[in-house]
Structure 1
């Protein structure tokens, strides 16, 4: 891995170009960078009031970091010269590389850089708010800090917008990847997290270039007590409309990326606001947010809103214990219903000791607490009456050691000055109720398995579909139960002597047999059935009896994450119901069990309203068998069983399709 320390924490900076490059010099001066900044330009005497050097040869020493603001063709020679002179690294600002189809030019840039780290090309650069070093050609909204979070983005505009936040988040680094021709996401993330002053990492990700490397990075970050939260864009997938299997349609890029982030222990949020709020929590409290939350407000309307929005975010508020009720009831009296979310009314408003006792008693029984409080705007109102409640929130956290979050219903109801001061005291104000709930729910992501890495990505190859008979023979060889059956080229040649009716009759050679009219159930005599146009032979099987549920199980190679595993309710309505969970291989039996319980219709498998319970252990065994097939045979592209008919004792692959190398 390259050493990015000089590029990220430079003691000297060189700036090449004019125009945008002038902003780099101005921003370094405004932020108080105390090292030399050397503009280099062949014709100008000064840029941004600083005397120019005529060429790189005039530099007094090899610079630690260089902002290369010249055109893309000149960039090649400049980068080669910088590498030869031992510069610490460069930002390649110019566009017009692989993003416009010129992959050869981008490859030449990487070759010119050699061992010298470069960010980009087509890259805005890096801001180091810790040391005041900015290789950044534009405005930004940040401030100097002594410690804070790092922000890495694959979009320059997105990260510029993030610097303009007024929510009190202390930002230590801002970095853009651009085209990531040389230094990728995992490498850059590892470099910023190596700074002990960095507390957490926030990402705006369009794609992962090294899934295994990022998984290793995420594990190391969590071990160091530094959480990661991400916004993943690009979740739609136009090719899903033309998918040849249920699995491909249901496990698109959004499901795969969400599964990957979850399995690496990275919190995923959908909005930039939630990204900021989650990072504030990670900055102060670190990763490992508990799942048991309480909520307190002095309004029934607010309590109801928390309950409704909490359910939408996937947060369940468990009721307080009898001990907590007794303790709070002694202060609040008989008129207050002791629940969670709690409306504590205004009987104790302004009474610091009583408010502190109620807040502490409630918080003590949970992992963390939300305390709804919207201080009046100070320009038109007097917020002083809210101070006792705010002080009580801080006291409750201090006494219990549990995170206590003051939550404003609207984000503007905490001003930036107050938010910064609170965070400096170790209290995290969350701005916007719905955003706060999304952030806290995301932070409940479990830690990834130690040592887990996705399978290597396989090169793209042509695939052919095995017919169902061949697919089931392969499954049976891996220990997956399949129905007893026979095959023949014609209906009249099917030998039923060793089978017991009723039968399932299927035409071979169809990816979707139901749509092609190539499935007939309850058959007693195949010889009396009509031929199936287009069938490449026939499969006759004993029908599976005693099914409790039908599941879809699908594994397929993934060009980014190695292989995905999709579990869900199956049958001909699988895509209509779309009740699935996607995982990234490899998985354990325990992972599969947890995933099944995440299905919306899990109760149907678990004896809902007196129904017989499905044999989920048999499901797990079947899935692990299919995973072992994929792992052992790199020629397999995709395995789909739909349905896997689950009984009270056992599970049988009633239909299966396999794609493998052509």
Structure 2
């Protein structure tokens, strides 16, 4: 299914009233250069019906009610439409919409559409927004793709004040035709996309999802996501929101880990992880270094990194020998490095120290500081240190980060300077540490080259039911996985079976009523 006409259209048609006004305004705001047509039965300056359009539309925004949506989408399909945004809700997330959902499913399968119950999409690369709300962002040449089952979460991620360069924002809603996995594949194939971020409430087709993620990995496009539904209340909300069945969180965790996907703890961590992956890609190891002119900062770094798969390995003896005359004999050379204020105010020594740390072989070297407010304070000394670090880092092939303990400490001016120097600006110490951990785990997964295959046995019904331990191990054995040898026998057969098997052995009860060994 070709999605280019949907997401990179030359001709756009917009149906509807007030909500659709935003679509037109935002397309014009972004500088959309194609044809933009309105269809409305009574408004001035609009076409009255489809037959009046001067050409076949590539993409359509349907900001009309669900009954009208079905009729218009059928007509557009017959005319050769390239794709559509179905804005209306009530197609399956509510009981009275089940029949309408079935009717929507009858739309020819070669017509791609996102939704229903979705906000649409924004393409900052090609300056088009089929989006019924304000668009916050700018035209870019390379950036992150955001795919979300929530329109509001999409807006939050788009409007973040963390300088995450966003190229696509795609709201998928109920995922009736195009699901997240289809859009992962599409975005991964776009050379302008650096990394893919997801907000998910459920996976529509697990096998297709695995294949799409594997294709993204082959194309060197890392993925970070938030999967809703860790709590029972979260699962209930997801069901009423988009009709999504969230499923077992333990299984999702295992799946994402196997696939090399970063499952982020919150939106702040998701943004910082996407930003880090955009700037640096997956980290080549879990060995990171950090430095600050504050002992308090260094203590916070050590505490926050505890429990993660990151290693603050001390500098080598060779590196220590280079650092010692730069930071002074009273400074304990370690990682994180507290280089103290004497070096802070000595630019030549500071430059040499930055060069030494950036060349020490860590997968990411970060300078931590929290500049004061630019309006209320004199930031000259901070600016000088930051500019020096960015200047040195720009000349190194190694990855560098500029880190603040509080998210608001790095102003937009500083963030943009850092990005221009290809240094990742990381905002907020806890989420920055988590982002480093996620990026290193993705790097570890990619190096292992693990293949993921969905194992489905023909011996068992596809309906949901609990398997006994013996049944589960039989499935694993049939799939070629190593499992301990065993037999399923009656109690009377146990003594004879034991004689025929090698010792040592164990006896386990097996029954559909026994779900766990504690039963």
Q: Are the counterparts in 2 of residues 62 and 87 from structure 1 also a CA contact under 8 Å? A: yes
- Structure 1's 463 and 185: CA in aligned 2 closer, same or farther, altered over 3 A? closer
Q: Are the counterparts in 1 of residues 23 and 133 from structure 2 also a CA contact under 8 Å? A: yes
Residue in structure 2 matched with residue 17 of structure 1 by the alignment: 16
Residue in structure 1 matched with residue 148 of structure 2 by the alignment: 153
Alignment of 1:487-566 (within 5 A): 487-488=491-492, 509=511, 511=514
Residue in structure 1 matched with residue 316 of structure 2 by the alignment: 321
Alignment of 1:389 with 2:389, yes or no, is: no
Give 1:63 shift: 1.0
Alignment of 1:347-358 (within 5 A): 347-358=342-353
- Structure 1's 464 and 160: CA in aligned 2 closer, same or farther, altered over 3 A? closer
- Structure 1's 287 and 473: CA in aligned 2 closer, same or farther, altered over 3 A? closer
Residue in structure 2 matched with residue 455 of structure 1 by the alignment: 455
Give 1:33 shift: 1.4
SS at match of 2:424: coil
Alignment RMSD (CA, Å): 3.3
Give 1:476 shift: 11
Alignment of 1:428-443 (within 5 A): 428-443=424-439
d(CA) in 1 for partners of 2:72 and 2:490?
A: 70
Q: Are the counterparts in 1 of residues 466 and 515 from structure 2 also a CA contact under 8 Å? A: no
Alignment of 1:181 with 2:176, yes or no, is: yes
Residue in structure 2 matched with residue 427 of structure 1 by the alignment: 423
d(CA) in 2 for partners of 1:272 and 1:31?
A: 26
d(CA) in 1 for partners of 2:190 and 2:476?
A: 50
Give 1:485 shift: 9.9
Match of 2:88 among 76, 89, 94: 94
Q: Are the counterparts in 1 of residues 400 and 423 from structure 2 also a CA contact under 8 Å? A: yes
Residue in structure 2 matched with residue 53 of structure 1 by the alignment: 47
Alignment of 1:361-380 (within 5 A): 361-365=356-360, 366-380=362-376
Residue in structure 1 matched with residue 217 of structure 2 by the alignment: 222
Q: Are the counterparts in 2 of residues 83 and 114 from structure 1 also a CA contact under 8 Å? A: no
- Structure 1's 157 and 498: CA in aligned 2 closer, same or farther, altered over 3 A? closer
Q: How many residues align?
A: 494
Residue in structure 1 matched with residue 131 of structure 2 by the alignment: 136
d(CA) in 2 for partners of 1:113 and 1:43?
A: 29
Give 1:293 shift: 0.2
Structure possessing the higher radius of gyration over alpha carbons: 1
Moved more, 417-426 or 298-307: 417-426
Residue in structure 2 matched with residue 307 of structure 1 by the alignment: 302
Q: Are the counterparts in 1 of residues 283 and 363 from structure 2 also a CA contact under 8 Å? A: no
- Structure 1's 464 and 227: CA in aligned 2 closer, same or farther, altered over 3 A? closer
Alignment of 1:286 with 2:285, yes or no, is: no
Q: Are the counterparts in 2 of residues 328 and 361 from structure 1 also a CA contact under 8 Å? A: yes
Residue in structure 1 matched with residue 334 of structure 2 by the alignment: 339
Q: Is the helix fraction higher in 1 or 2?
A: 2
- Structure 1's 466 and 107: CA in aligned 2 closer, same or farther, altered over 3 A? closer
d(CA) in 1 for partners of 2:369 and 2:504?
A: 67
d(CA) in 2 for partners of 1:32 and 1:474?
A: 56
Give 1:278 shift: 1.4
d(CA) in 2 for partners of 1:412 and 1:159?
A: 21
d(CA) in 2 for partners of 1:476 and 1:186?
A: 29
Q: Are the counterparts in 1 of residues 292 and 339 from structure 2 also a CA contact under 8 Å? A: yes
Q: Are the counterparts in 2 of residues 476 and 482 from structure 1 also a CA contact under 8 Å? A: no
Q: Are the counterparts in 1 of residues 39 and 48 from structure 2 also a CA contact under 8 Å? A: yes
Moved more, 55-64 or 421-430: 421-430
Unaligned runs of 5+ in 2: 236-246
Alignment of 1:158-307 (within 5 A): 158-236=153-231, 253-307=248-302
Give 1:474 shift: 11
Moved more, 304-313 or 228-237: 228-237
**TM-score (normalizing by structure 2):** 0.87
SS at match of 1:99: coil
Deviations 1:581-600 (A, max 9, x none): xxxxxxxxxxxxxxxxxxxx
d(CA) in 2 for partners of 1:288 and 1:313?
A: 14
SS at match of 2:93: helix
Give 1:484 shift: 13
d(CA) in 2 for partners of 1:194 and 1:503?
A: 52
